[in-house]
Amino acid sequence: AQSVTQLGSHVSVSEGALVLLRCNYSSSVPPYLFWYVQYPNQGLQLLLKYTTGATLVKGINGFEAEFKKSETSFHLTKPSAHMSDAAEYFCAVTFRQGVAGTASKLTFGTGTRLQVTL
């Protein structure tokens, strides 16, 4: 069974500081990994995803994440935080399906609320 662990339910950084949100996964087969962001009273928006190929993935709004198989991690980083980055971030995992339309449900972590202070 797949699972995702996000370390730290709340992270606070100063504006301009490095953002690091941690995600570790458990999967018995090669995973597909996603980071989604949820702003207050809104749905989830995809930041980036890893499927195959290059392990360093760049996403929107200056975020990136690196897939490290040996560490079963997919941490999200941004070099310089901005006030507009304050939101809840969710790491999610799914895995390869052989048949079109076969279940590819996302298994989410519990989320990390990012606070950005002046």
Partner 1 sequence: DSGVTQTPKHLITATGQRVTLRCSPRSGDLSVYWYQQSLDQGLQFLIQYYNGEERAKGNILERFSAQQFPDLHSELNLSSLELGDSALYFCASSVGISGGQDTQYFGPGTRLTVL
Q: How far is the CB of 105 from partner 1 (least distance, A)?
A: 4
Q: Is 84 helix (H, G, I), strand (E, B) or coil?
A: helix
Q: Is 108 in the site for partner 1 (CB under 8 A)?
A: yes
Q: Which of residues 23-42 bind partner 1 (CB under 8 A)?
A: 32, 34, 36, 42
Q: CA nearest 36: which of 107, 115, 116? A: 107
DSSP symbol at 28: S
Q: Residue 36 is which amino acid?
A: Y
Q: How far is the CB of 69 from partner 1 (least distance, A)?
A: 16
DSSP symbol at 52: S
Binding site for partner 1 (CB under 8 A): 32, 34, 36, 42-46, 49, 51-52, 90, 94-111
